């Protein structure tokens, strides 16, 4: 079924400044041609309009360079300092105060604590202050053409991006985001935007770029849909008797592989109250010369569904805890 916003989308395209076809060859790459064909045959896009859009895409080598050096690859003590700072906490409290009612409603409806939602938005875009300066079309086209290791993933995201712009009446040539194509206040990739974004302010639009209310509701919905367990622990310090023993239980996999009872029996105690039967895992972080052991639970790994990185999820958790404590203390 052709979306009702097709007319809006076509009007936007008619207003675009058409560049010379010689300025780019992106639309001529076989992988891009396949995406265009899929959009035409599976979704009923007008091919002429698609060619007009893709003729204006630009390959950006800096995008590939950024993909090869993600922040998450930094040692933990350096990565943490990027996000768990006094200014991040101060700005986060301001954001929380401005949107208290919306955050409270998201907590009631989805079971996700306010400080977790705020922390994710803080890590992603500094509470909407830094939503990315890369044109999403360029980023995704570049990664499809020049980043073969994840070509299938980004091909799917580029197709989803075009579908998203059509469904939501967005201009595909002006939407900006991260070098990996994530968009808006919560930095949703196109497929996540289409599947998990919600209208949380009642204006009948899912606007993650201009509406913090929709961003808050969508983050909470995303975690809820990935099986967030309301009221259950997330992570906490591990009290370790012998590092040599603890290291045998450390995992880098993005799932629990033990239980609280089993870890306790090995001399690894959790600093947060938890049921002995609770699934858990032990992770080890680099504090810069000393290990930082943490026991993590299912909710921690729900956060990794947002970004598949232990460093990312722990930065969210640490920032969230700092926000919660600051909020309680006033």
How far from each other are the two terminal CA atoms of the chain, in whole angstroms?
Answer: 52
Supply the pLDDT for residue 308.
95
Q: Is 124 a known active-site residue?
A: yes
Supply the pLDDT for residue 5.
52
Supply the pLDDT for residue 329.
86
Q: What's the predicted TM-score (pTM) here?
A: 0.91
pLDDT digit of tens for each residue in the chain (330 aa)? 344 455 555 555 544 444 333 335 787 899 999 999 999 999 999 999 999 999 999 999 999 999 999 899 999 999 999 999 999 999 999 999 999 999 999 999 999 999 999 999 999 999 999 999 999 999 999 999 999 999 999 999 999 999 999 999 999 999 999 999 999 999 999 999 999 999 999 999 999 999 999 999 999 999 999 999 999 999 999 999 999 999 999 999 999 999 999 999 999 999 999 999 999 999 999 999 889 999 999 999 999 999 999 999 999 999 999 999 999 887
Supply the pLDDT for residue 6.
55
Give the burial class of 316: count Cβ atoms within 10 A of its Cβ; 0-12 exposed, 13-18 middle, 19 or more buried.
buried
Which pair of structure tokens corresponds to residue 38? Answer: 């899929």
For 254, other C-beta atoms within 10 Å of its C-beta total 14
Supply the pLDDT for residue 19.
39
Q: What is the Cα–Cα distance from 63 to 67, expressed in whole angstroms?
A: 6
* 3-state SS assignment for residue 238: strand
Pinpoint the alpha helices (H) of 226-297: 243-246, 260-265
Which pair of structure tokens corresponds to residue 103? Answer: 């955050």
Which pair of structure tokens corresponds to residue 229? Answer: 């367990």
User: What sign does the CA torsion over 96, 98, 99, 100 have?
Assistant: positive
Q: For domain 21-65+131-224, which CATH number applies: 3.40.50.300, 1.10.8.350, 2.160.10.10, 3.30.365.10?
A: 1.10.8.350
Give the burial class of 86: count Cβ atoms within 10 A of its Cβ; 0-12 exposed, 13-18 middle, 19 or more buried.
exposed
Chain center to CA of 128: 13
Supply the pLDDT for residue 27.
79
List 33, 72, 109, 124, catalytic entry: 124
Q: How far is CA 243 from CA 118, 138, 215, in A?
A: 34, 47, 41
């Amino acid at each position: 079924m052709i979306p009702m916003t097709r007319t809006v989308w076509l009007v936007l395209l008619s207003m675009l400044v058409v560049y010379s076809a010689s300025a780019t060859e992106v639309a001529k790459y076989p992988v891009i041609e396949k995406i265009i064909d899929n959009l035409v045959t599976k979704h009923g896009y007008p091919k002429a309009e698609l060619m007009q859009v893709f003729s204006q895409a630009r390959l950006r080598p800096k995008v590939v360079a950024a993909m090869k050096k993600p922040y998450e690859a930094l040692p933990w003590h350096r990565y943490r300092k990027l996000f768990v700072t006094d200014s991040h906490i101060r700005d986060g409290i301001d954001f929380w105060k401005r949107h208290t009612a919306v955050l409270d409603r998201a907590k009631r409806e989805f079971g996700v604590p306010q400080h977790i939602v705020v922390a994710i938005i803080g890590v992603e875009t500094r509470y909407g202050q830094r939503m990315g300066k890369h044109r999403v079309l360029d980023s995704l086209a570049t990664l499809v053409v020049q980043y073969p290791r994840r070509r299938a993933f980004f091909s799917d995201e580029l197709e989803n991006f075009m579908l998203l712009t059509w469904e939501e009446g967005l201009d595909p040539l002006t939407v900006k985001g991260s070098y990996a194509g994530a968009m808006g206040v919560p930095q949703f990739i196109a497929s996540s935007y289409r599947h998990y974004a919600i209208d949380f302010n009642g204006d009948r639009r899912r606007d993650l770029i201009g509406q913090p209310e929709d961003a808050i509701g969508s983050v909470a919905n995303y975690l809820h849909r990935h099986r967030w367990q309301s009221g259950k622990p997330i992570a906490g310090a591990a009290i370790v008797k012998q590092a040599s023993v603890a290291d045998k239980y450390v995992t880098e996999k993005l799932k629990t592989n033990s239980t609280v009872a089993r870890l306790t029996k090995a001399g690894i105690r959790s600093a947060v109250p938890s049921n002995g039967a609770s699934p858990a895992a032990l992770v080890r972080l680099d504090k810069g010369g000393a290990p930082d052991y943490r026991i993590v639970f299912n909710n921690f790994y729900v956060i990794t569904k947002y970004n598949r990185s232990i460093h990312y999820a722990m930065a969210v958790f640490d920032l969230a805890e700092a926000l919660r404590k600051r909020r309680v203390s006033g």
